Amino acid sequence: MIHTAKFQKPNSMKPIQVGLFGIGTVGSGTFNVLARNREEIVRRAGRDIVISMVADLDTERAERIVKGRATVTANVDDILNNPQIDIVIELIGGYTFARDLVLKAIRAGKHVVTANKALLATHGNEIFAAARERGVVVAFEAAVAGGIPIIKALREGLTANRIEWIAGIINGTSNFILSEMRDKGLAFADVLREAQKLGYAEADPTFDIEGVDAAHKLTIMSAIAFGVPMQFGAAHVEGITKLTKDDIRYAEELGYRIKLLGITRRSAAGIELRVHPTLIPARRLIANVEGVMNAVLVKGDAVGATLYYGAGAGSEPTASAVIADLVDVTRAHTSDPENRVPHLAFQPDQLASTPILPIGEVQTSYYLRMRVKDQPGVLADITRVLADHRISIDAMVQKEPDEGQEQVDIIMLTHRAVEKQVDSALAKIEGLPVLVGKVARIRLEELR
């Protein structure tokens, strides 16, 4: 006699129990969206997903948010030691306590969903190794570009491609500041104050305006795109604090816009991993991403260039990515760990040891702005130095001096050159007696 197992309807299966660490802006959005869209989510996941426990130091605020729909505690161990909790969501941020918390959750056999890009960029290799050993999933869609599903695209949607390069506007604070400087002709410091008043910039905006936040996100995308370990320490990072309204205006006159870009590119010598202000042709779609929005441009050999655009932060946009991870982990909960999508897209034993190129070895084009004395022979002296270093000029503009002034701005766009050659040339130019001050240098990418 043949016995067949009785089919159990998905909605009648035991709900997945979730513990939430941190119910601030993103945590409250996650809790509310999960409750509001519960019916749709159940239909997609195949079973109910319930945040049944919340750990937060501000228990009064947490109680106001959950309204009796979850147990609130100030002690994270109450969640870690609860055998009924299947998945934990880490939304507390930071490097140290969050690392310990995630590793404890993994050791307890719990799947992890996190939005913590700093944690993964610095400790991701250790965390993913621990998760593989324990047979659990670490999901992190919300760690990069908020509600834009770029991790899913890189890990799964573009699997058939050999990724050639990625260029992203992945910090909304910096993009807002640059957009306002261009639109209103304001100085950096003035727009930063405005961004802080509007809540787009933190009281201490260092991570955003110095490019660190973007570098964390770029490190994660680069690892997935090229199948290499996380290497945040090897990234070249520059912020936007030294940009002037003059440079933004001159770039506009030349048909370019300045954006803080995260760029990672595969080359024969290694992988580029760099964050810095960049001139982009104004006709490119990504150059027209304004305000606090994010966009990521990915170039694959088969698909060509693909652009992903949307809200890079905020309560519900980021919650959208957190819940998408919850659904993915729920689907994978009972699957064989060997058949799950690898954390970094490539099989763990297939990660490459491709080196990250030092910035001096990177080849790109440049915008150069020089203030010089308005006298004969200046251009000849400058172009001679550039030619000696094998740097050719693509375009040049010499501004008229202001009335009564004896100094003038010269703006040059170069063809592609190796950065260390440019460094050497600029050192020579800054030593010329006709130069006033330092040369302003901004990298330029055509993103064809």
Tokens linked to 150: 């770029």
Q: What is the CA radius of gyration of the chain?
A: 25
Amino acid at 183: D
The Cβ of residue 160 has, within 10 Å, a number of other Cβ atoms equal to 9
Catalytic pick from 217, 259, 420, 438? 217
- For residues 328 and 151, give the distance between their C-alpha atoms in angstroms, rounded to a whole number: 13
- For residues 313 and 306, give the distance between their C-alpha atoms in angstroms, rounded to a whole number: 21
Do 18 and 38 contact (CB within 8 A), yes or no? no
Element (H or E) spanning 442, and its range?
Answer: strand 440-444
CA dihedral of 387, 390, 396, 402, whole degrees rounded to 10: -60
Do 131 and 109 contact (CB within 8 A), yes or no? no
Distance of CA 234 to the CA centre of its chain: 16
Do 92 and 57 contact (CB within 8 A), yes or no? no
Distance of CA 344 to the CA centre of its chain: 15
Look at the block and give the residue holding tokens 């019916």: 39
Do 279 and 300 contact (CB within 8 A), yes or no? no
Decide if 242 is catalytic: no
Active site residues: 217
